[in-house]
Each structure stands twice: as C-alpha cells, then as structure tokens.
Amino acid sequence: MARSDLEALELRLLLDAVYQHYGYDFRGYARTSLKRRIWRRIMEEGLETVSGLQERILHDPDVFERLLVDFSINVTSMFRDPTFFSAVRDKVVPVLKTYPFVRIWIAGCSTGEETYSLAIVLREEGLADRTRIYATDINGEVLRRSKEGVFPVERMKDYTRDYLKAGGRESFSDYYKTYGDVVRFDPTLVDNVVFAQHNLVSDSSFNEFNLIVCRNVMIYFDRALQDKVHELFYESLVRFGILALGHKETIRFTGHADDYAELDSHEKLYRRLA
C-alpha cells in the first residue's frame, strides 16, 4: 500500500474512533485542514504516526481535548472584516428593529471576538436590551475563554482601528479595562448572551432565530456537510430571518439557494423568503 493510501486509511480510522468513542463527528470536514491540524497534534505529543495518535486519544481523554482545541481554532479578531459590521448596522439592524424581541445565533463563536463585536453594535444601535444572543461552539474550553472576554492588550490598536472602520460611535477603550498585558471587556456586554456547546455536525435546531451568523466556519466542511448545515440554518430561521456567511462562503449551489434573497451580495447577507 502506498504511503498516501496508508495515511488516508489511518485518518479514516482515527475519525471513526473519535466519533465512536467521544461522539464528535469530524468525518465531513475538509481533509486538507484536518490533516494539517492532526499532524500538528502528532508532533506536539511526541508521536510519529496517525495511528499512534489514535491509540493515545482513545486511552487519554486529555490528549483528545487538546486535539479538539486544534480542530476548533479559527482565525478571528474583533470587528474582523469591518465592512461586514457596517453592513449589519445599515442593513440588518433596521430589520431587527421591526421585531419586539430578537434572537441571534452565532454558530462557531470561537474565542468570543465576534460575539463581543456584535454585542457592541447592538448596544450602540439600541437593541441590546431586547436581544438574546446564543453563542455556540463545539469546544467547551473555547467557550469558557469566550465568556471571560479577556484578550491581549497588544491587539487593542488593531481592534480599535477596525471598530472605527465598522462605524463605531463611541470611544472603544470605554468598553474594556486593562490589567497588565491583557484587557477584560465589560461583562455587561454579554448579560444577554447564552454561551453553550453545540455541534453543527450532529446537533439539531434548538430555537428560531431572526439572525444567524456563521462566518468562516463552513470553509472547513466538505460539500455534503455544508448542505447539512444549511438545512439546519434554514430550519432555524424565522420567516424573513437573515443568514450571515463569510466572504468565501455562499448560499449558491446549496439546496436552499432559491429560498433566500440577497440582502448584501458582497457581505454575504441573505434573507429567508418563506
């Protein structure tokens, strides 16, 4: 058997073992991204093969938790893609203001930067008090960090710049306090946020939402898994609810392509038709 074929077999066995033993299903994730993260974990654990990692994670839950963090890591920052948050202010907020109460789902919230960014926008637009945000991620440790709202102080210059580009109306530094080399954001920003574990691959819809934000998550999924998640989002949106995707993602070529109207084609904002 060729080396590449053997590695492919080992990867399948590893993902099957994770699913059977821990209940996490990564079998529909894009293989290139998975392989890179798995090999990083192999090297950091001092191992040499995918099979060696499989044996280790089956007998040591701590190793699996570290692998789960590897799978969960996404590149994120506050007010990432400022034009997206400008579009939220200009095109999404007016729609949300027509509802007496708003429910928002941030799917794949990672370490919380997007959650706090959206919470700031809602506060400045007068919507915070009648909005409930559900910030979910597959990884419990990532959720804990997200809820804390603690970030390196060195990032604040870039975050401030992007906040202003996104249409920020206040002094960004008023939203956090500095403690040495870290800052902690105002805890009241997340008073109306529910942080919870949710697996897009295996878990079902848990509420109806006026807005679902899932940016730069499905780029790690294969086409079949993307279709499955789009079905979940469609079922979870209220009529005329809004779906927000990342710049490299689209509703086109999915089974629900005709069920949405473009609210903003560049910022990948779609409004459910019925």
The first and second tokens of residue 249, run together, are 């993602």
Do 109 and 134 meet the contact criterion of CB atoms below 8 Å apart?
A: no
DSSP state of 75: -
Tell me phi and psi for residue 178, to 5 degrees. Answer: -95, 135
Neighbours of 59 (CB within 10 A): 10
- List, edge to edge, every strand of the sheet that includes 150-152: 150-152, 182-185, 176-179
CA dist list (Å): 117 to 111, 160, 172, 206: 12, 11, 11, 24
252: exposed, middle or buried (Cβ count in 10 Å: 0-12, 13-18, 19+) = exposed
For the chain, the first-to-last Cα distance in angstroms comes to 52
Which among 22, 19, 86 is positioned nearest to 60, based on CA atoms? Answer: 22
pTM for this prediction: 0.86
* Cα distance between residue 234 and residue 103, in whole Å: 15
Neighbours of 35 (CB within 10 A): 14
Report H helices in the chain. Answer: 3-22, 31-44, 50-59, 61-72, 82-87, 93-96, 113-124, 140-148, 156-165, 223-236
Print pLDDT tens along the chain (274 aa): 677 788 899 999 999 999 999 888 888 888 888 899 999 999 999 999 999 999 999 999 999 989 988 887 666 899 999 999 999 999 999 999 999 999 999 999 999 999 999 999 999 999 999 999 999 999 888 899 999 999 999 999 999 999 999 999 999 999 999 999 999 999 999 999 999 999 998 899 999 999 999 999 998 888 889 999 999 999 999 999 999 999 999 998 899 999 999 999 999 999 999 8
Q: Which domains does the chain have, with CATH numbers?
A: 3-72 (no CATH), 82-272 (3.40.50.150)
DSSP state of 15: H
